[in-house]
Structure 1
């Protein structure tokens, strides 16, 4: 008997599963807020040198603010004041004649900077003076965060498969809260970067556990809707971030605010069930049966206890050593699983790198930062609904291939389209972003279905690590524009198309039961046909055995 048969008796998609999904909403909303928080906390406000040191005799008191800047700071070609240089001495003659200003000697800012606080009360830039020679540190803060996510994905992948989903999820919540608070009270950029790395490390557990735990509790038919709804929660959180950031312009308070839902998540953690699949494959059938009984009770399946006995759970997993401690090495020990691991890592790397590459290069709509962020977030919503029906109708593989290839095509079209066609280029860019988001939605769901229960967190953790690596490398690819302006986009376009072709090599998982053991992955096509038509008709769920094997 397979787990899907047992889960069907308890109802694989009822009030129990909906309640579990709702318990994951708040921590899931927190994720995009942290992932994209750098757009606001590391924003660079208008600034110029602090010129107070030039006013040794109080002369500036008779001048207007504009005149003070005119005699103290050189102007750029476009007429704006420079941000990183000042005159050694006030040049009062510039008030009447500025024709020779470009020939005057200048020096770097001597007494720090003055920042415009009309948009942001405080940011990392104004707090730690991350401008001029140190302006690159604003991007470094994002890279540090994603690096923490990378390493966290590996560690939490191991811990979840060894100690269970629920316990490690609580650890993730607590770590994220502690290090978010530590980040907010940092007194130096190095201190902030260190705690921001650890915040990413902690949030990585929530990122990979939430989706896996939800998927493992639903039946075959409803895995797609759970995966897509999880992605919609991301979009909601991303959109809310724009509003929250608009209302809270102090980076410290903003950081604490977007982390606050995790406090509620900790308070409601006790209501979250452990994965019954994980309990069974680890020999804890008694505890798994209690959770399944609870599931049946909430879903009003009173006949579950009489239909399914505890002994039936012992028959779910056969062929694998239930006490075996699995590691990442098990992902490459057997041929079919090894191919899945290689292919999914390529797809994840390119999906993440392309997504962030597009996000960094879509031309704005001439709106302020908050509205632009909101628009870029909300345009993903129609994509979620379209991909839901497409995943149900066409399956995982076709959607993964199609969204990636079309993303690459959109990027390449924008490369060859003249810049005079601004409207057309904007439409294609937005379409490309929507398609790249669809590829992300698909790959997250697809990956959880490809790996067996005994290695699912390891598999998801590994691919998440590779994806975060792609996200971190994406800004570095942008530096290639110094070699040739369209080169970064060409790289992203080719990556999207090539990874789409790689996805063709993955097996289809639509309407197939989740594999429980490595043997489920490695079984041959021939053995998958050994189940007779009569046996299939007796199963509570219709299982497409031709799609249940891995090629």
Structure 2
């Protein structure tokens, strides 16, 4: 009898030692209580603000321009963009008149702003523009005279994406060493500071430098905010929280479009976007530190205070036994196999090697098409602001569509079908006549709808394909390589100047390639997330124990 009692105590103690935070959330605190809801609402604000970092779409937008004709009295770039005599001085094109060429003038012959006759130009010869006249003044193109330098203008978006390559390791180190809360505050402060500095740029170099610094030192807002939203939510609600976080980012882009529409001078637009970000610094005193981080760093006294506060706010209870189990976690066993280097182990596993070579391609395509469609939406018609707002708003139903179908249809099939659907939309867009603006907009928005589903599914599916011991590293690797897509996306409007369908063809072909590659990987719906390399390799070969 005593032996049986000892066994029972031993089993109870073992079970207590294996208890983790998810168990406590499911059984005692609640998987999505008031405390988690409050956190989600609070971090939704910086998540929305993270979308403001795409303001270069408007502040560095292309604006129509032409050569300045000094022979006819134009000595600055403030003149009428399209005077009646313009075709006397500038060659005609299919879309109107040339942006970068003009006719050679005949010496000692001049006209006026009201009358600039054709006979004062040698219409058999053209030269490049020396100076420019612009149709609008709400872009750095006007302030810094970037006419006919589209590649230089597009650097704003490209360098912003380059900056995010540095933020991943930097903010990861800060978050892991000093805590999630301070990482979030640092990011939002840097976004606000360098955004405000950019509003006072005295030249284009300063504008680009502040763009890089902002993304490199503040681009981790979304990931930091997502951690706060997800780390105190039970497994049942994590897909929903992921969709809500994605939706808040989309809302931020919609707010960006509205602010840019209402406040069109780019300097004042940037101020209106980033000055309010300084208020979020107060989150250092408002938000509680992530319990998971506190437990991982063995800051048990602080973790206990947070957990008791969660129980109080949720009107639930956490037992002393659960607290004791969380404060005394079972140490992870170290084996010779687990000491092996990641690269060596991946190279020895053909299954994992193929997976590591495949998932980054999905990420490249996803970021290329997602950001590419957002950037190119401004040129769909004259209503650039409305087009951008609609293109971003369509992501919201896409995010929640993913929630409804992921656990029914499966990850692999959903991801592959949505890649193919966005490819069809982009290819179809090429063949729709430009005079059918409504139809072109509908097809364009459908392409953005499907790629938004892809973005929601991608993070989850990728993480489920890799083992726990290397999941974060391999997921970060895929995401980092995926930045190639977001770096390339701002250049696609410039490529359209050489061949109009080029962006749509690039998006469509990339999506077809990725949609096919998705089918080479196993389905993860209904399977336990793999903890070891062996379990990850076994996905699709045999049924893994359900969670």
Instruction: Give the TM bin, normalised by the shorter chain.
Output: 0.7 to 0.9
Deviation of 1:526 after TM superposition, in Å, equals 12
Contact 1:2–1:316 under 8 Å retained in 2 = no
Partner of 1:175: 190
- In the alignment, what sits opposite 1:409? 424
Whole-angstrom CA distance in 2 between matches of 1:256 and 1:485: 34
Q: 2:14 aligns to what?
A: none
Q: State the match for 1:311 in structure 2.
A: 325
Matching residue of 2:361: 346
Corresponding residue for 1:390? 405
Q: Confirm or deny that 1:219 pairs with 2:230.
A: no
Shift of residue 247, structure 1, vs aligned partner: 1.6
The one of 103, 109, 113 equivalent to 2:123 is: 103
- Which structure 1 segments of 5+ residues have no match? 529-543
Q: How many residue pairs are counted as aligned between the two chains?
A: 515
Alpha-carbon separation, structure 2, partners of 1:310 and 1:141: 52
Maintained 8 Å contact 1:72/1:91:
no
Offset at residue 512 of structure 1 (A): 6.9
Aligned-pair distance for 1:411?
A: 3.2
Cα 1:333–1:24 change in 2 (3 A) is farther
Structure 1 counterpart SS, 2:31? coil
Other-structure match for 2:141: 125
> Aligned partners of 1:418, 1:115: CA distance in 2, in Å?
28
Aligned to 1:103, the other structure's residue is in SS state strand
Distance (whole Å) between structure 2 residues aligned to residue 151 and residue 327 of structure 1? 24
Q: Cα gap change, 1:305/1:211 in structure 2, threshold over 3 Å: closer, same or farther?
A: same
Q: For the Cα contact (< 8 Å) 1:166–1:274, is it kept in 2? A: yes
- 1:368 pairs, out of 377, 383, 391, with 383
Residue number in structure 2 paired with 1:74:
90
Name the CA distance, whole Å, in 2 between partners of 1:129 and 1:3. Answer: 57
Q: Tell me the equivalent position of 1:24.
A: 43
Contact 2:295 2:326 in 1 (8 A): no
Aligned to 1:355: 370
Task: Give the deviation of 1:259 after TM superposition.
Answer: 1.7
Going from structure 1 to structure 2, the CA distance change for 1:55 and 1:339 (only over 3 Å counts) comes to closer
2:495 and 2:503 in contact (8 A); partners too: yes
Assess if the C-alpha contact under 8 Å between 1:144 and 1:197 holds in 2: yes
Q: Which residue of 1 aligns with 2:10?
A: none
Distance 1:393 1:260 in 2: 43
Task: Give the drift of 1:365.
Answer: 5.7
Q: How far has the Cα of 1:312 moved from its partner?
A: 3.7
1:535 is matched with which residue? none
CA pair 320-160 structure 1, distance change in 2 beyond 3 A? farther
Unaligned runs of 5+ in 2: 1-18
Does 181-190 or 91-100 show the bigger shift? 91-100
Number of the residue aligned with 1:235? 250
Task: After superposition, give the CA deviation of every residue in 1:271-303 in whole Å (9 maximum; x if it has no partner).
Answer: 22333333334444443333222222211113x
Contact 2:40 2:228 in 1 (8 A): no
Distance 1:393 1:464 in 2: 26
Stretch deviating more after TM superposition (46-55 or 280-289): 46-55
Report the Cα distance in structure 1 between the residues aligned to 2:38 and 2:455, rounded to whole angstroms: 25
Matched, 1:379 2:388: no
Q: 1:332 to 1:252 in 2, by over 3 A?
A: farther
Q: Which moved more, 1:268-277 or 1:325-334?
A: 325-334
Closer, same or farther: CA 360–275 of 1 in aligned 2, 3 Å: same
Structure 2 CA distance, aligned partners of 1:479 and 1:284?
A: 52
Q: Does 1:44 align with 2:43?
A: no
Distance in 1, matches of 2:102 and 2:537, equals 74
Compute the displacement of 1:483 (Å): 8.8
CA offset digits 1:17-44 (Å, max 9, x no partner): 1111112112111222222x12211123
Moved more, 198-207 or 75-84: 75-84
Task: After TM superposition, give the deviation of residue 130 of structure 1 in Å.
Answer: 0.8
Superposed CA offset, 1:215-255 (max 9, x none): 22211111111111111112211111121112212212211
What pairs up with 1:452-531 in 2 under 5 angstroms? 458-459=473-474, 461-475=476-490, 489-504=504-519, 520-522=531-533, 524=535
* 1:5 partnered with 2:27: no
Query: Which range moves more in the overlay, 485-494 or 199-208?
Result: 485-494
The two structures have a TM-score, normalised by structure 2, of: 0.79
Aligned to 1:14: 33
Partner of 1:145: 160
Name the CA shift for 1:364/1:123 in 2 (closer, same or farther; >3 Å): closer
Asked whether the equivalents of residues 412 and 489 of structure 1 are also in contact (C-alpha less than 8 Å), the reply is yes
Q: What are the superposed Cα offsets for residues 428-465 of structure 1, whole Å, 9 maximum, x if unpaired?
A: 33322210111012223445666677766655543332
Instruction: Specify whether residues 96 and 527 from structure 1 end up closer, same or farther in structure 2 by C-alpha distance, changes over 3 A only.
Output: closer
Two-structure CA RMSD over aligned residues (Å):
4.2
Q: Distance in 1 between matches of 2:431 and 2:72?
A: 51
> Which one of the candidate residues 134, 144, 150 is aligned to 1:115?
134
